[in-house]
Amino acid sequence: MVIREGGTRHVVSAEQFSPSLLDELFASADEMGRRLQAVRPPLLPGRVMATLFYEPSTRTRLSFESAMLRLGGQVVSTENARDFSSAIKGETLEDTVRIVGGYADCIVLRHPEEGAAARAAAVSPVPVINAGDGRGEHPTQALLDLYTIRAELGRLEELRVVMAGDLANGRTVHSLIRLLSQYRGLRVTLAGPAQLRLPEPTVRALRRSGAEVREADSLLEAVVGADVVYQTRIQAERLSEPISEAGSDAARFRVTREVMAALPETAVVMHPLPRVGEIDPEVDSDPRAAYFRQARNGVPVRMALLARVLGE
Ligand code: NCD
């Protein structure tokens, strides 16, 4: 998991995680889940984590902070770094990271620009964890997504996965695909509005990994025979102008009761959340709706990651 050999343990891309590292991390997350049920000695006493968020967040920031506190560490935080940090005075990301790296033992960074986490890692004296860089990646979300698939279905091989919604701008999709493509027998169905297709280099990398890739015109068609439906929100804030056709197209990619009727009984529906209409709330009571369980997994998975990044 090192970016620079012998150097700091930055987490910038899902590509840093091999199946054997993922196995170790998930075993540790299982153990963290058990720790949450009992009073245990703290694992990271006296360590400080900084969260530096230049974009809105609920789940990612709070679950990272909860994970650190539950490990016995401490947290310093700017939840609106764009307006309330020196960025507003014109300070560069690099300078801010150098400074915050003097106050904390690791920095969890969310930023609107693709590549921001790599830029921060290049100058930071402490580990940087990418909590979302524009439309680039969101590797820790992918970790909890993969952990959820393993917990819900009991396997990571021979999966039939439907990736739905905004595949162009959804950074969680980009990271999850990087993790999934390391496992044997992957079949991916891409199901989203025509204007929001998965970037071509990602499609090519997926095919090169040996995965079968196909596209579907509607979710109803895509979910037949699926194991996982990974639904995502249209990232309106990343579109230069609202795509009206995408809006109307989006109706064909909603998870509705009709879609659930076509989905196998053993499958699960996931979503990184927040959702804004792409999953009908009527579906929430279906046992296959795994998105709230998925969000809860953020704490033990991030505990395992922090223990690895900050532990001995
Ligand atoms: C995602 C994100 O920020 O990329 N949210 C999250 O971290 N769970 C997905 C989104 O905002 O649509």
CA distances from 132 to 39, 208, 209, 242 (A): 32, 25, 24, 22
For residues 118 and 167, membership in a common domain is answered with no
**Which ligand 1 atom is at minimum distance from the Cα of 172?**
4
Q: Is 51 helix (H, G, I), strand (E, B) or coil?
A: strand
pLDDT greater than 90 at residue 77 = yes
User: Mean pLDDT for the chain?
Assistant: 93
For residues 212 and 229, membership in a common domain is answered with yes
**Which ligand 1 atom is at minimum distance from the Cα of 298?**
8
For residues 204 and 93, membership in a common domain is answered with no
Q: Is the dihedral of CA 255, 263, 27, 135 positive or negative?
A: negative
For the stretch 211-238, what's the b/e string if a residue is b when 16 or more beta carbons lie within 10 angstroms of its beta carbon?
Answer: bebeebeebbebbeebbbbbbbbbbeee
* Beta-ladder partners of 111: 133
- In short, whether 298's Cβ falls inside 6 Å of ligand 1 is no
- In short, whether 136's Cβ falls inside 6 Å of ligand 1 is no
Contact residues for 215 (Cβ-Cβ < 8 A; gap 6+)? 189, 190, 191
For residues 239 and 161, membership in a common domain is answered with yes
For ligand 1, the distance from its centroid to the CA atom of residue 187, given in whole angstroms, is: 24
Which amino acid is it at 295?
A: A
- The whole-number pLDDT of residue 1 equals 55
Q: Which two tokens stand for residue 126?
A: 């402490």
* Beta-ladder partners of 128: 107
The tens digit of pLDDT for each residue in 3-52 reads 444 466 999 999 999 999 999 999 999 999 999 998 889 999 999 999 99
Q: Candidates 51, 53, 148, 172: which one to mutate for ligand 1, based on the most atoms within 8 Å of Cβ? A: 172
The tens digit of pLDDT for each residue in 287-309 reads 999 999 999 999 999 999 999 99
134: left (phi over 0), alpha (psi -120 to 50) or beta: left
Please count the structural domains in the chain.
2
CA geometry: angle 174, 177, 178, nearest 5 deg: 90
For residues 200 and 116, membership in a common domain is answered with no
- The whole-number pLDDT of residue 72 equals 96
For ligand 1, the distance from its centroid to the CA atom of residue 65, given in whole angstroms, is: 16
First to last CA, the chain: 14
For residues 146 and 289, membership in a common domain is answered with yes
Pick the closest to residue 25 from 129, 143, 130, 127 (CA basis): 143
- The whole-number pLDDT of residue 73 equals 97
- In short, whether 171's Cβ falls inside 6 Å of ligand 1 is yes
pLDDT greater than 70 at residue 248 = no
For residues 173 and 47, membership in a common domain is answered with no
Catalytic site includes residue 148: no
* Residue in the block written with tokens 């830029």: 119
- The whole-number pLDDT of residue 79 equals 77
**Which ligand 1 atom is at minimum distance from the Cα of 232?**
12
For the stretch 157-187, what's the b/e string if a residue is b when 16 or more beta carbons lie within 10 angstroms of its beta carbon?
Answer: eebbbbbbbbbbbbbbbbbbbbbbbbbeebb
CATH number for the domain harbouring residue 187: 3.40.50.1370
For residues 39 and 152, membership in a common domain is answered with no
Choose between 189 and 4: higher pLDDT.
Answer: 189
Q: Considering the candidates 35, 59, 150, 288, report the single residue annotated as catalytic.
A: 59
Catalytic site includes residue 59: yes
Protein residue closest via CA to atom 8 of ligand 1: 272
The tens digit of pLDDT for each residue in 107-154 reads 999 999 999 999 999 999 999 999 999 999 999 999 999 999 999 999
Catalytic site includes residue 60: yes
Domain that holds residue 231: 139-295
For residues 144 and 107, membership in a common domain is answered with no
For residues 79 and 100, membership in a common domain is answered with yes
Catalytic site includes residue 275: no
For residues 110 and 123, membership in a common domain is answered with yes
Q: What's the rounded Cα separation, in Å, for the pair 199 and 4?
A: 28
- The whole-number pLDDT of residue 85 equals 76
Catalytic site includes residue 110: yes
pTM to 2 decimal places = 0.95
For residues 129 and 203, membership in a common domain is answered with no
- In short, whether 233's Cβ falls inside 6 Å of ligand 1 is yes
- What percent of the chain is predicted at pLDDT more than 70? 95
